[in-house]
Amino acid sequence: MREFFGFGGYTRIPEGYFSWQHLTFVTCLMIVMALSAFLLGKKNALRSEKAKNRVLIVTAIVMDAIELARIVIVCFRLHDPMHWIYELPLFMCSIHFIVLPLAAFSKGRLREASLDFVVIFGILAALFGTYFAGQNYGAYPVLSLDNVASGLTHSLSGFASLYILRARMASMEKRNIPITFGIITGGCLLAYIANAIIDYNYMFLRRGDGTPYDLFLNLVKGNQILYPILVLLLFFGYIALFYGAYFLICKHKKA
C-alpha cells in the first residue's frame, strides 16, 4: 500500500509511456467506460430526466471525490500543505470537475450548455488523459495512485460524455455554442494567469510536457506568444468541428 500511494517515493521503475502495461491498463478502462455508458444510457434513454440525471449526479460526486482524495494524499506525501495550488482544475481535462457537477445539479441554459460541453470534451479528455498522458505514464508506475486516480477520473469524463449522448440528454442547440466557447476561453484565461503567478503549466499553455501539444509547440518553435494562442484556437476548431459533425449527422438522420 505504501508503494501504491508513493509514500517515500516509488521504488518501482515506471514501465514507460506507450509500454504494453500502459496500453493494457488504459484500454481496459476505455472498454469498461464505453460499455457502461452504452448499457446505462440505453436503459435510461426513455426514462424521465430525473432518472437519467441520477447517473450524472453519482458520476460527478465520485469523480470529484477521487480527485479530492488524490490531492490530499499527494499534499501529505510531499509534506507540502500548499501543493494544492498545482492541482487546480485548470487543465482541459480537469475543467470537468466543475462542469460535470454543473450539468448534474444546475438548471436551464446553464445545464444545457454544461451537458453539451461534457459531450464535446469528455471523450477527448478520456483519450488524451489516458493514451496520450506521457507526463504521467513516463514518470510513475502504471499501477500507482497518480496513474490509477488519473485514469479513473478521465474515464469518468468519457463515460459522462457517452452516457449523455446515449441517454438523449444533450441539447446541442446553436444558442448554447457561445457558452461552450466561453467556458473554454475562461478556463484558458484563468490558466494563463495562474501560470504567470505560480510559474506552472496549466492547460499546457507553456509547453507540451510529453503530450501531443509538443507537436504544436515545435510548430511555432517554442514561441510563448503564438503557442498559447494556437492552443486556444485548437480548442475553438475542435468545438466547431464537433458541432458541425453533430448537426450534419442529425440532418442526415432526418433525411
Q: Check whether 77 has a pLDDT greater than 70.
A: yes
Q: By CB neighbour count within 10 A (0-12 exposed, 13-18 middle, 19+ buried), where does 130 fall?
A: buried
DSSP per-residue letters across 114-142: HHHHHHHHHHHHHHHTTTT-HHHHTTS-S
25-67, pLDDT tens digit by residue? 999 999 999 999 999 999 999 999 999 999 999 999 999 999 9
Q: Check whether 104 has a pLDDT greater than 70.
A: yes
Task: Give, as one character, the DSSP assignment of residue 174.
Answer: G
Q: Check whether 255 has a pLDDT greater than 80.
A: no
188's enclosing H/E stretch is: helix 177-198
Q: Are 141 and 51 in contact (CB under 8 A)?
A: no
Tell me the residue length of the chain.
255
Residue 253: pLDDT band (50, 70, 90) is low
Q: Residue 178's pLDDT is what?
A: 92
- Rounded Cα distance, 79 and 105, in Å: 35
Coil vs helix vs strand at 199: coil
Q: Check whether 254 has a pLDDT greater than 80.
A: no
Residue 251: pLDDT band (50, 70, 90) is low
Q: What is the pTM of this model?
A: 0.91
Q: Residue 1's pLDDT is what?
A: 84
